[in-house]
Chain A
Amino acid sequence: MSGDQATGKVLGRAMRVAPALRRGLRLTLLMAMAGQAITVVTPIVIQQLIDDEILAPSGIDMSGVLTKAGLALLALAIGVVVGRAAVLRLIRSSSTGLSDLRTMTFRHLLRRSVLYVEADRRGDLVSRVTSDVTTLQEFMEWGGVGMVIAGSQVLLALVVMFFYEWRLALVAVVGVIGYLLLMRWFQRVLARNYDSVRTEVGRSLGILSESISAIPVVRAYGIEKGTTTKVADALEKRFWIEFRTARFGNILFSSAEVFAGALTAAIVVGGIVIGTTQGMSAGTLVAFLFLTNLLIEPLQIVVETLEFAQSAASGLRRILGVLDTEVEMSEPADPDHLRPGGLSALFHEVGFAYSTGGEVLRDVTVDIPVGARVAVVGETGSGKTTFAKLLVRLLDPSRGTVSIGGVNARRIPLQELRDRVAFVPQEGFLFDDTVGANVRYGRPEASDAEIWTAFHELGLGDWVEGLPQGLDTRVGERGGNLSSGERQLVALVRAWIGSPDLLVLDEATSAVDPVLDVALRQAMERLTEGRTSVTIAHRLATAEGSDEVLVFADGRLVERGRHRDLLARGGVYADLYTDWAAGTKTV
């Protein structure tokens, strides 16, 4: 039962994190209990009618019958009103508390480091704020409410039993405990079976999904037959394991019906024995049979909900786990501010290693003066993207310091830094909104005219005018209505419109066609006069036009200088350039 204790503990923590969950909880539970009193009304009325009217020596007195029925109906009405109010309270507090918890979790996740959010666990992150919370919600609103109601019903039925005849009530208590233990045992046995069902379901779905995703390949290679056979085999295997497990579960759980019958029989036998020896009225024993009936269904609900509670608790544990981890990048305790104007950057003996130990950048010392146009080159995995992320403080160095405009980057308030330093990543991510709204992510207060100007400055006026609804054109989910090159254009304008003093581009135009790419770079060179720009370059043409080239290899800054000088030196850069040039020369 230690699992259940841990479950209780984790629920307690959730209530502290999201106080709306426990607001007025005690009163709610009391009210729920009172509302449940309606279920024991019938057995009591039956006992009263049998003993005091039907079996009364004086015969049936209809006015007495009506009075009792009237009182019973009144009790029912009160129970309905109070019970309903209790459930409404429970629903309101759990919905509010869980929505708060969800938003809190989301905010926390989004503040985590890019390394954490970027790693291949986006699906996981989404489940933290969707399915985990939904499971909790369903548990609270169906399972939780059901459990409170069912629990109160069992409790009340037992209380009434003890009130009538404690010895017979003990028989019922033994039955209830036995039943609970039996069901728990069944469930544990079944849980093991369900694990293998889940595995097989997952496997068959994996094969089916793969086959559907691969339809173009299947068609291109004419392997329809093999594909359908593979899927059919997996589905057949899944059928048998699902069916066998369900059959086993049915046999286990229906045996509970036999148990319930045995309990009823035991009450009859026990009642007759106690009645003949200790004295008990016929009406009381009949009432006991009705009360016994009230025990079984709720016990089933309680047991099912316990299982539900554990899956809800494991979701909750994952959510609390998120909230327990520190955000890697916090606001500075002693902030320092940037001076207006162009920004320089300085790396002093900077190193960066993943928490898993892989060192991706070592001992980098470099200064980038105000207004410089710097190109960063290197092979995949050389550390150039990490360099860019350190430069814009999307990451903090493991060793050494990064300074922007002469101020240690860790001491600049994050919002101030983001306003002055722009970073354009490769993927050109767009939100499912209009072109204009996407650009406004870079500067919320920008007017339409300013956005137009920004497009025109970069020589993209024709492009935006060619869109069906201009700035109001919707880009679709993840910008799917635009080509990948077009998405990069919007992302570039989005950074551009904030007039950053330091602009860092990470292969930001990799999907733009060559003619446009060259035109864009020429426009930016013209306009970045006085501003500092750092470009991670995939096309070495960028490096040719820069003031300085930084060459990375194996996590180190291995060469730096102007294009011509580096080429003449015949080192890493010269090799990279030769390779690239071989690919672009037309004759």
Chain B
Amino acid sequence: MYSEQMTPWSVLRDGIRLIVRFVKGHPAAFWLAVSGAAVFAGAIIASAWVIGWVTDTLIIPVLDEGVDPEGLILPAAGLILAVAVVKAAGIVLRRTSAGWLQFRTRQDVRNALLAHQLSLRMSWFNRQAVGDLLAVADSDVDQGTGVLAPLPYATGVTLLLVGTTVMIMAIDVWLGVGAIIGLLVVLVIDVRGSWITYGLWEEVQVARGQVSAVAHESFDGALTVKALGREDHVSERFGGVSDEVRDRLIKVNSTWASYQAVIRALPQVMIICLLVVGASRVGAGAVSPGDLVTVAYLLSLLAFPVQLIGFVLWDLAGSLAGWRRVQDVLDADEFMTYGAVQAREARDAAPLDGETVGFSYDETGPVLDELELHLKAGTTLAVVGATASGKSTLSLLLARLWDPDAGRIELDGTDLRSFSPSELPKEVSYVAQHAFLFDDTVAGNITLGEEFTDAEVRTAARLAGAEGFISELPDGFDTELGERGTTLSGGQRQRIALARALIRKPRLLVLDDATSAVDPSVEAEILRRLKGAALPSTIVVVAYRPASIRLADEVVFVDERRVVAHGKHEALLETTPGYARLVQAYEEDAKRLAGEAT
């Protein structure tokens, strides 16, 4: 929709398209704002006419010709004041309606962004940096809709320019022609100046981004920098990018200042030239002195708004840049597809089957290939594999956070893709290694807003080994956790996330290294309790620690993108050397050390 290379014309064209799109959402507010702008422009022209009228009927007769001011003063003062009141009303109408338009549009866009992102596949989400998505929803929406604020003002100024030319034309054709030429020159220089400065300003923003990136990196790595004694090197690097900002700022501001100097002076030049022409027309009796004052006054009132009109181009260009990033998200079309199957009411463990499952994240090659996995209902399975063997990927596929590229995964005989939206989570609970906690109470984090009794919450927490530390929190289960639950340790957060899954009594429970930050003895205790609790669940655990593996009914060893062995732990130790090597590394090392010591 929007061209890549920005030129003043493309900005104008795309900008108008964007504005039309926004205006369609709230047309009433827009037209109210434009009406306000028209009142505002009319009031300014009227104020110049009033000053001219005051000059001709009051000032010159009284001060030059000695006429008695009696009866003239009050109408003059009243007229000036009345015009000011109308102008103020126009401003209020314009700005308030524009505010409505802008704030409502932002609200709409933010709601649309979230809804859209929730409808997309995780494969899309995973390719994005979360920080970027947050920036899109926050600053890019603000920036993208930024053009709506100055829009009514710009409309007002445009009307003002047209009105001014008409008014001056009406007073005198020669003055009118002069005014048109002058205003055109000012506009052209103004727009050109704004455009050039905008390009330079973009460079400043890039350089500022670098400063921020270097600062972030340096402080994040401060411990490393200090440990290596490299503070000077890093400071020099920072000084370099900071000076880059300095140089670019000097360049953009100097250019801007030069244009401004000319643009500020041009209306004055114009007034003086028109005064010369006007003086000769007064001499010829074509215009009155008051008319001449009106023309000069009007142009001097225009001097300030005209300076700003070039910036509308800035606002447009800035808006387009921000909106492009918003549009990229809204244009993403990797939608989730769903079937019509509903979750079962009955709560019993489900059998699980993966057939010829293949998956790859990108072109770097498959992560899983022709993987076969068949589990009877109620089995507890440990998935074991070296780093990056694909076991986490497998667990994501089992919970349908991703879809396989090839093959199928079936829960109780139903392909996961056949469930209708929000139904599969009633059957499958997934717990990731990184426990995400909401800014809510402990209980709220376990229920996630669904109806559960306090007893259920408590039971789930106990099962997850979390009841102990939760009861020691200031308000127990009602303790507010704060943003992302930063007050808790990693192990505590993981246990709350586990309770969140357990309370749902899923037919399939997938734990992806979900207790990695829990102390080994506590972890073993949790797993023992899970087995003893007779959950209505088939359980799949991605595990590292041999103790956790030992507790599983069955083990699959994932290597070379597929399941290479499936059976009892003890059997795999015998039959699969790769498996034995991986789970026995520490034991072997301990034996070696013990051997050395004796």
Contacts of A50 in B (CB 8 A): 289, 293
Contacts of B268 in A (CB 8 A): 38-39, 41-42, 76
Contacts of A257 in B (CB 8 A): 84, 87-88, 91
Closest A-chain residue to B249, C-beta based? A95
Among B59, B130, B253, B275, contact of A141 (Cβ-Cβ < 8 Å): B253
Stretch at the interface among B3-11, B170-178, B216-224, B472-480: B216-224
Known: A246-B95, A587-B573. A268 touches B77 (CB 8 A): yes
Q: Give 8 closest A-B pairs by Cβ, nearest first.
A: A261-B84, A418-B229, A222-B425, A583-B520, A514-B585, A222-B422, A99-B246, A60-B283
Known: A117-B222, A268-B77. A586 touches B587 (CB 8 A): yes
Stretch at the interface among B117-125, B161-169, B408-416: B117-125
* B225 and A110 contact, CB distance less than 8 A: yes
Known: A92-B250, A110-B225, A257-B88. A579 touches B282 (CB 8 A): no
Known: A46-B296, A95-B249, A261-B80. A431 touches B217 (CB 8 A): yes
Q: Confirm or deny: A449 has a beta carbon within 8 angstroms of a beta carbon on chain B.
A: no
Interface flags for B546-570 (1: CB within 8 Å of A; 0: not) read: 1111100000000000000000011
Contacts of A485 in B (CB 8 A): 387
Contacts of A580 in B (CB 8 A): 520
Stretch at the interface among B99-107, B371-379, B460-468: B99-107
Closest B-chain residue to A430, C-beta based? B221
Q: Confirm or deny: A55 has a beta carbon within 8 angstroms of a beta carbon on chain B.
A: yes
Complexed CA–CA distance, A41 and B265 (Å)? 10
Known: A76-B269, A236-B107. A513 touches B245 (CB 8 A): no
* B110 and A235 contact, CB distance less than 8 A: yes
Q: Given A84-B261, A222-B424, A265-B81, output 20 extra A-B contacts at Cβ < 8 Å.
A: A39-B264, A88-B257, A92-B254, A96-B246, A111-B231, A215-B125, A220-B432, A221-B448, A222-B422, A222-B423, A225-B422, A228-B118, A231-B110, A257-B88, A260-B84, A268-B73, A276-B62, A513-B387, A521-B589, A583-B547
Contacts of B448 in A (CB 8 A): 221, 223, 226
* B297 and A289 contact, CB distance less than 8 A: yes
Stretch at the interface among B312-320, B348-356, B576-584: B576-584
* B224 and A429 contact, CB distance less than 8 A: yes
Interface residues of A in 304-357 (CB under 8 A from B): none
Contacts of A554 in B (CB 8 A): none
Interface flags for A402-439 (1: CB within 8 Å of B; 0: not) read: 00000000000011011100111101011110000000
- Most central of A134, A272, A276 by chain B CB within 10 Å: A272
Contacts of B235 in A (CB 8 A): 103, 106-107, 110
* A242 and B586 contact, CB distance less than 8 A: no
- Could you tell me how many residues of chain B have their Cβ less than 8 Å away from some Cβ of chain A? 160
Among A130, A442, A586, contact of B546 (Cβ-Cβ < 8 Å): A586
* B60 and A212 contact, CB distance less than 8 A: no
Interface residues of A in 188-246 (CB under 8 A from B): 205-228, 231-232, 235-236, 238-239, 242-243, 246
Q: Confirm or deny: A297 has a beta carbon within 8 angstroms of a beta carbon on chain B.
A: yes
* A117 and B219 contact, CB distance less than 8 A: yes
* B272 and A73 contact, CB distance less than 8 A: yes
A141 → chain B, closest Cβ, in Å?
5
* B257 and A126 contact, CB distance less than 8 A: no
* B280 and A62 contact, CB distance less than 8 A: yes
| A/B interface sample: 13 pairs, CB < 8 A | A117-B226, A129-B215, A130-B215, A134-B208, A220-B432, A228-B115, A246-B96, A257-B87, A417-B229, A418-B229, A429-B223, A441-B233, A584-B546
* A250 and B257 contact, CB distance less than 8 A: no
* B222 and A282 contact, CB distance less than 8 A: no
* A272 and B63 contact, CB distance less than 8 A: yes
Complexed CA–CA distance, A99 and B223 (Å)? 25
Contacts of A217 in B (CB 8 A): 432, 436
A297 → chain B, closest Cβ, in Å?
5
* B226 and A243 contact, CB distance less than 8 A: no
Among B227, B234, B239, B582, contact of A514 (Cβ-Cβ < 8 Å): B582
Known: A216-B436, A251-B92. A65 touches B387 (CB 8 A): no
Contacts of A545 in B (CB 8 A): 589, 593, 596
Closest B-chain residue to A101, C-beta based? B242
Complexed CA–CA distance, A582 and B527 (Å)? 14
A16 → chain B, closest Cβ, in Å?
20
Interface residues of A in 40-59 (CB under 8 A from B): 41-42, 45-46, 49-50, 53-55, 59
* A517 and B585 contact, CB distance less than 8 A: yes
Interface flags for B262-290 (1: CB within 8 Å of A; 0: not) read: 10110011011101100110110000010
Stretch at the interface among B15-23, B50-58, B189-197: B50-58
Q: Confirm or deny: B524 has a beta carbon within 8 angstroms of a beta carbon on chain A.
A: yes
A482 → chain B, closest Cβ, in Å?
11
Contacts of A73 in B (CB 8 A): 269, 272
Complexed CA–CA distance, A285 and B55 (Å)? 9
A92 → chain B, closest Cβ, in Å?
6
Q: Confirm or deny: B495 has a beta carbon within 8 angstroms of a beta carbon on chain A.
A: no
Contacts of A239 in B (CB 8 A): 103-104, 107
* B401 and A219 contact, CB distance less than 8 A: yes
Contacts of B242 in A (CB 8 A): 99, 102-103, 106, 129
Q: Confirm or deny: A362 has a beta carbon within 8 angstroms of a beta carbon on chain B.
A: no
* B276 and A65 contact, CB distance less than 8 A: yes
Q: Confirm or deny: A290 has a beta carbon within 8 angstroms of a beta carbon on chain B.
A: yes
Contacts of A171 in B (CB 8 A): none
Among A46, A80, A102, A216, contact of B265 (Cβ-Cβ < 8 Å): A80
Contacts of B258 in A (CB 8 A): 84
Complexed CA–CA distance, A289 and B230 (Å)? 65
Q: Confirm or deny: A83 has a beta carbon within 8 angstroms of a beta carbon on chain B.
A: yes
Known: A46-B296, A221-B429. A429 touches B234 (CB 8 A): no
Q: Confirm or deny: B438 has a beta carbon within 8 angstroms of a beta carbon on chain A.
A: yes
* B130 and A272 contact, CB distance less than 8 A: no
Among B55, B95, B581, B596, contact of A286 (Cβ-Cβ < 8 Å): B55
Q: Confirm or deny: B519 has a beta carbon within 8 angstroms of a beta carbon on chain A.
A: yes
Known: A39-B268, A62-B283, A223-B448. A243 touches B221 (CB 8 A): no
Complexed CA–CA distance, A133 and B144 (Å)? 25
Interface residues of A in 240-272 (CB under 8 A from B): 242-243, 246-247, 250-251, 253-255, 257-258, 260-262, 264-266, 268-269, 271-272
Closest A-chain residue to B238, C-beta based? A106
Complexed CA–CA distance, A161 and B422 (Å)? 75
* B399 and A220 contact, CB distance less than 8 A: yes
- Most central of A129, A236, A380 by chain B CB within 10 Å: A129
* B224 and A261 contact, CB distance less than 8 A: no
* B261 and A231 contact, CB distance less than 8 A: no
Contacts of B221 in A (CB 8 A): 429-431, 478
Complexed CA–CA distance, A424 and B429 (Å)? 38
Contacts of A227 in B (CB 8 A): 114, 118
Complexed CA–CA distance, A207 and B545 (Å)? 37
Complexed CA–CA distance, A515 and B583 (Å)? 9
Contacts of A214 in B (CB 8 A): 436, 438
Q: Confirm or deny: B158 has a beta carbon within 8 angstroms of a beta carbon on chain A.
A: no
* B89 and A216 contact, CB distance less than 8 A: no
B329 → chain A, closest Cβ, in Å?
10
Complexed CA–CA distance, A411 and B209 (Å)? 40
- Most central of B110, B260, B279 by chain A CB within 10 Å: B279
Contacts of A275 in B (CB 8 A): 62-63
Interface residues of A in 359-382 (CB under 8 A from B): 380
* B219 and A289 contact, CB distance less than 8 A: no
Contacts of B99 in A (CB 8 A): 242-243, 246-247, 250
Complexed CA–CA distance, A292 and B226 (Å)? 61
Complexed CA–CA distance, A383 and B88 (Å)? 68
Q: Confirm or deny: A114 has a beta carbon within 8 angstroms of a beta carbon on chain B.
A: yes
Contacts of A429 in B (CB 8 A): 220-221, 223-224
* B92 and A250 contact, CB distance less than 8 A: yes
Complexed CA–CA distance, A86 and B111 (Å)? 48
B53 → chain A, closest Cβ, in Å?
11
Q: Confirm or deny: B421 has a beta carbon within 8 angstroms of a beta carbon on chain A.
A: yes
Q: Confirm or deny: A293 has a beta carbon within 8 angstroms of a beta carbon on chain B.
A: yes
